[in-house]
Amino acid sequence: MSRAKAEKLWRQTPRRAAVLLAAALGDDTGAADRIAANTYAWLYTVLAKDDDLAAWELLAPLLPNDHDDWDRCRRLARGVAKAVRGTHGKVRLAIVEGVPAGPARTALDAELERPGGKHGSAYFWDYRWPYTWRR
């Protein structure tokens, strides 16, 4: 199968991308971090256009809930930020580095810089400067 055909097939079914993103975010080993970054960036644009509800129906139960449930893009960014922060102090930098510049990256950066609240913590790791803590 040519790359063009594979890309066309991928773009026709955002639900497949949602399944791939859910699996990649659930993998704590970091093996699928680049896949998660690319899938997140593409799904962000799909959800911003309200193109596919099937993908959203699959992702919605997996993403953090807050007062802005109506904003699908923000919930998606918050879910990816939660995965980037990792568990047990293991930060997944490859996800952040793999997201291309644009609205998806801006939203992810904003969620990573969001202190406190329901899904953040008072102290969190600043992914741009290794081994430093921000308050």
Q: How many domains does the chain have?
A: 1
Quick one: tokens of 37? 């970054």
Task: Give, in order, the Cα–Cα distances in Å from 102 to each of 62, 95, 106, 135.
Answer: 24, 15, 6, 26
- pLDDT value of residue 113: 86
Amino acid 22 reads A
| pLDDT tens, residue order, the chain (135 aa) | 566 766 666 667 788 888 888 888 888 777 888 888 988 998 998 888 876 688 888 888 888 887 667 888 889 999 899 888 876 667 788 888 889 999 999 999 998 887 643 444 433 444 444 444 444
In single-letter form, the type of residue at position 73 comes to C
Q: CA-based diameter of the chain, in Å?
A: 50
Which of left, alpha, beta for 30 (phi over 0: left; psi -120 to 50: alpha)?
A: left
Amino acid at 61: P
At residue 123, the pLDDT reads 38
- Each residue's pLDDT tens digit, 26-51: 887 778 888 889 889 989 988 888 76
**Run of H or E including 57:** helix 53-59
Which pLDDT score is estimated for 134?
46
**What domain range includes position 31?**
3-134
Give residue 25's identity as a one-letter amino acid code. L
State the pLDDT at residue 19.
Answer: 87
